[in-house]
Amino acid sequence: MDLFDRRGNEERGALPLAARMRPRTLDEIEGQDHILGPDRLLTRAIQADRLGSVILYGPPGAGKTSLAEVIAAVTRRTFERTSGVTANVAILRSVIDRARSRRESTGQPTILFVDEIHRFNKAQQDVLLPHVEEGVVTLIGATTHNPMFFINTPLTSRSLVFELRSLPEDALVRILSRAMTDGRGFGGMKVEADPAALGHLARTADGDARRALNALEVAVLTTAPDGDGVVRITPQAAADSIQKKLLAYDHDEDGHYDTISAFIKSMRGSDPDAALYWLAKMLYAGEDPRFVARRLVILASEDIGNADPRALTLAVSAMQAVDFVGMPEARIVLGQATAYLATAPKSNAAYAAISAAEKDVSEGRSLPVPEHLKNVHLRTAESGEPAPGYRYPHDFSGHFVDQEYAPTSARYYEPSDQGYEEVIAKRLARWRAARGGRDGV
C-alpha cells in the first residue's frame, strides 16, 4: 500500500498546478455565489442529493469541470467523463452499461460529465437520453456556448441550466493565495508572493482560474531562491510568467482615478487620439469594460447633450453591447463609442440647466402647480371637457400656445450654438418671444 500511495502522490505531483488545485468542496469554489449561495437552488439540490440533469455554461476557467467533480464528490456518485467531440455511440453505450451494472450490483449512482456538450449530435442524444430519463446516469454537460442557442432542445428541455461567470479579481487572488499555502500546491515550499504580483496575475487572467494558476506555476518554477532559500514572486516575475507588461495602474487608488479622468477630459476636449490611448491603457490593465461604458453614458449627457442627441443613444447602445458580447470584442464597441463622443459637438447646457433648477428647488421656496396644469383627468373624463383654463397646444397654429407652465420667470436651459443645439436655440427663441416676456414670481 505504501508503494501505491507513493506512486499516487508522484502522479499527482506531476499534474499541472491548475489540476492539483481543483476544488474539493463547495466551499472551495470561488466566484459563483449567484448559483452556489447558501439558499440557491443548485446548492440545495446538491446537498439534498436531489440533482437531476444539469447544463453548466460559462467562459473558460470559470470552474465548470471543477463544479461537476465537486457535485460527484458531495453526492458520492461515480464520476464518468467524456466529450461531445469524442463520445461516439460505442463509448456512450459502454458508459451506460457500466453505470447500469454499477447501480444493479452496488446501488452506486453515476454522473456522466460531457464536456463541449454543444457538439452532441442526434445519434449521441438518441443513445443517451432514454437512460438519462430512466436515471441510469445523471447528465452534467459543460459548454462555453449559450445552451439556448447552441444545444439541441431535447437536451435543454430535460436539464436545469446554470450560468457560471468569469471569476472576479478577488476570487482569483484567493485561489492563487490558496495555491501558495496548500499542500497540493506550493505549501511544502518556501514561496512568497508580493500582493501586487498576485493582483497582476488575477487581472491579466481575465476571469480564468486555469490561466492564473498556470502563470503562478511558471513564476514559481522559473524563479531562483534567494539567499534564504525563499522563492520570491515579484511583480516583474508575475508579468514575465503571464507574458503581459505590468502597468502602473492600481484599481482602487490614483492610477485608476487619474486614468479615467484623463480619458473623460480627452473626450470633453475633442481629442479622439488621446481618449483612445487612455481607453487602451485601461482595458490592457484589466479595467472593467462596463465601468468604462457607464462613464461614456454620463459624458454623452453631461458634455454633449443636445448638441448631438444621438450621442446618448449610441453610448447606451454601447453599454448594452459591452455587457452582451464581453471582452475582448467589447473593446471594439468601446473604441467606436469613444471616437464618436470625442468628435461630437459639445455642449453642457442641459447639464447646467438641471443643476440650476435643482439649486432653485433645494434653496428657494416651493412653487405651487398652476390650477390649469393639475391632474384633472377624472373630471375631464366625466364631463368630456378639457381641464378648465388649460389650452391644448395641438389645437393651435404651430402646436404652440402662450400659457403659464410654472409660476416663475427663471430660465434654466440656454442652448449653445453647437451642433443641433443651434437649431434648438432658434426654435426656443421664437417660443420665448411669443410668450411676450410674461413676468413670473
- The answer to whether residues 40 and 127 belong to one domain is yes
176-203 pLDDT per residue, tens: 999 999 999 999 889 999 998 998 898 8
Number of other CB atoms surrounding residue 239 within 10 Å? 19
Please check the confidence at residue 145 and state whether its pLDDT lies above 70: yes
Mean per-residue pLDDT of the chain: 86
DSSP state of 252: S
Average the pLDDT over 18-44 and give the result: 92
Say what percent of the chain tops pLDDT 70: 90
Position 59 pLDDT exceeds 70? yes
Inform me whether the pLDDT recorded for 4 exceeds 50.
Answer: no
Q: Give the pLDDT confidence score for residue 1 in this predicted structure.
A: 38
Q: Is 43 exposed, middle or buried (0-12, 13-18, 19+ CB in 10 A)?
A: middle
**Nearby residues of 203 by Cβ (< 8 Å), 6 or more positions away:** 169, 251, 285, 286
Q: Is the per-residue pLDDT at 95 higher than 90?
A: yes
pTM of the predicted protein model: 0.57
Widest distance between CA atoms in the chain: 102
**Residue 228 in domain:** yes
The pLDDT of residue 7 is 41
Is 266 a domain residue?
yes
- Predicted confidence at residue 364, as pLDDT, reads 79
Closest by CA to 374, choosing from 387, 393, 392, 391, is 387
Q: Is 90 exceeded by the pLDDT of residue 255?
A: no
Say yes or no to pLDDT of 239 above 60.
yes
Helix axes 330-343, 289-299, angle to 10 degrees: 20
- Please identify, among 114, 133, 163, the residue that sits at the C-terminal boundary of a domain: 163
**72, 23 contact by CB (below 8 A):** no
Asked if residue 67 and residue 147 are part of one domain, the reply reads: yes
Total domain count for the chain?
4
pLDDT band at 74 (very low <50, low <70, confident <90, very high): very high
| CATH value at residue 328 | 1.20.272.10
At residue 100, the pLDDT reads 94
pLDDT value of residue 377: 61
- Residue 193: which CATH number? 1.10.8.60
Q: What is the mean pLDDT of residues 141-164?
A: 87
Do 179 and 144 have their domain in common? no
Model confidence at 6, pLDDT cuts 50, 70, 90, reads very low
pLDDT > 70? residue 80: yes
| Residue 96 confidence (pLDDT) | 93
Which 3 state secondary structure label does DSSP give 15?
A: coil
> 173 with 152, same domain?
no
Q: Is residue 21 part of a domain?
A: no
Query: Is 174 domain-assigned?
Result: yes
Based on the fold, state whether residues 130 and 177 are members of the same structural domain: no
Burial 175-190 (b: 16+ CB within 10 A, else e): bbbbbbeeebbbeeee
Name the residue type at position 339: A
- The reply to whether 63 and 145 lie within a common domain is yes
Check pLDDT > 90 for residue 97. yes
Alpha helices in 205-309 (DSSP H): 209-222, 235-242, 254-268, 272-284, 289-299
Q: Pick from 104, 175, 95: which is nearest to 140 by CA?
A: 95
Is 138 found in the same domain as 82?
Answer: yes
Q: Is 18 exposed, middle or buried (0-12, 13-18, 19+ CB in 10 A)?
A: buried
Residues 158 and 180 in one domain: no
pLDDT confidence tier of residue 388, bands split at 50, 70 and 90: low
Asked, for residue 382, whether it belongs to a domain, the answer is yes
- The yes-or-no verdict on residue 161 having pLDDT over 80 is yes
- Kindly give, in sequence order, each residue whose CB lies less than 8 Å from that of residue 313, ignoring residues fewer than 6 positions away: none
**Range with the lowest mean pLDDT among 12-16, 33-37, 140-144, 179-183?**
12-16
Q: What CATH number does residue 50 fall under?
A: 3.40.50.300
38 and 158, same domain (yes or no): yes
Residue 10 has pLDDT above 70, yes or no: no
Residue 403's φ and ψ, nearest 5 degrees, are -155, 165
Same domain, 135 and 58: yes
Q: Residue 16: inside a domain, yes or no?
A: no
Last residue of a domain, one of 343, 371, 395: 343
Which of 296, 263, 420 is closest to 346 using CA atoms? 420
What confidence tens digit (pLDDT) does each residue in 203-236 have?
888 788 998 999 999 999 999 998 889 999 988 8
Of 242, 263, 278, which marks where a domain is finished?
Answer: 242
332 or 258, greater pLDDT: 332
Domain with 292, as residue range(s), is: 254-343
User: Residues 134-152: what's their mean pLDDT?
Assistant: 88
pLDDT band at 395 (very low <50, low <70, confident <90, very high): confident
Q: Is residue 11 part of a domain?
A: no
Residues 380, 427, single domain; the answer is: yes
User: Sorting pLDDT into bands at 50, 70 and 90, what band is 387?
Assistant: low
| Residue 185 to residue 197: CA distance in whole angstroms | 17
Provide the CATH number for the domain around residue 383. 1.10.3710.10
Q: Is residue 227 part of a domain?
A: yes
Asked whether residue 365 falls in the same domain as residue 331, the answer is no
